[in-house]
Structure formats: C-alpha cells, structure tokens
Copies of this chain bind each other. A is one copy, B any other.
Amino acid sequence: MKMSTGVEWAVHCCVVLSQAEDPVPAQRLAEFHGISRTYLAKHLQQLSRAGLVSSTEGRVGGYVLTRPAAEISVLDVVQAIDGHEPAFRCTEIRQNGPLPASPETCRRACGVARAMHTAEQAWRDSLRAVSVADLAAGVLEDNGPQTFDRVREWLAT
C-alpha cells in the first residue's frame, strides 16, 4: 500500500501557495522544491480540477489557492491527487466457491470490507482535521518566524 509521491509535492506546494501574494508558476514551485517541473505540472492540474487552486494563463500566470488555507484540509489534497478510491476493494469472494453467500446476505457489505472501510474512515477523519494553514504554522514553528518572508522574497526574484 503506497501513496503517490505526488501527494507530498502537492501538499508542500499548497503550503507555499498559502504564503504567496501573486500567482506562482509551476516552474517556480518545482525549482523551490527541487522536483520535476513537467511532472509537478500534472499534479497541479489535478489540484486545479479538484477546485483547490485556480490557474491564470498567460505571461504572468500561475497558481493561487481558491480558498483560505484554513479551509483546505490535507485530505482534500490527498484525494485530489490520489483519487477517492478506497485502498481496500472487496472482490466479494464470499460469493465464490461451494458455499457462496446468498444474494440477500450480500445486500450488506462483507464484514471484512466493513472493518477495512471503518479504518479508512478513521484515516480520512484524521487527515481532514489538519489544514494547510496548520501545516504552515508548523513550518514557522520548526524553521523560525522569518521563514515565509524569505520564501516570498525568493518568489519575487
């Protein structure tokens, strides 16, 4: 079970965007994080389609958050990149073999699937409780209060 590395990129990009004053092009975001420009562009397009960022085309174009960072959860970003498919997908093997479960029984989800989905719900709840603004505050705490001033300065270069 593995999450796309694009999720990590996207979350970090959202934190940077939450501190930017102007649209930031994909090129800048890629440079800032030392990652592939073309591939990051794909992920930013996913964020755009999910409605988390809006893009402006043209010469001074780039990406901007569509909402305050406090209203964008980590779960929003994860699902924008990784999709909404559950990690566990029940293939209904209880319906196979010599003693298949009856159709009436199968109107309810399999007990195994229920346990897995409950766990994934707990996972989602945990991610939903953390916002991009929370992460930004954490960065300030870890790296010092002037961190984002330096970021803005570099972005303006």
Residue positions of A touching B, CB distance < 8 A: 1-5, 7-9, 11-12, 15, 31-35, 74, 82, 85, 87-91, 93-94, 96-99, 101-102, 105, 108, 111-112, 114-116, 118-127, 130, 134-135, 138-139, 142-143, 147, 150-151, 154
Contacts and interface: CB of A to CB of B under 8 A. Distances in A.
Given A87-B2, A122-B123, A105 B9 contact: no
A105 B8 contact: no
Nearest to A81: B1
A114 B24 CA distance: 26
Contact of A123 (B35, B85, B120): B120
A54 to B, nearest CB: 23
B32 A97 contact: yes
Contact of A1 (B2, B31, B126, B147): B2
A142 B99 contact: no
A45 B142 CA distance: 45
Contact of A154 (B5, B32, B99): B99
Given A2-B85, A74-B116, A105-B143, 15 more contacts: A1-B85, A2-B87, A2-B89, A8-B93, A12-B93, A32-B98, A33-B93, A34-B96, A74-B119, A87-B87, A99-B151, A101-B142, A114-B138, A118-B126, A123-B123
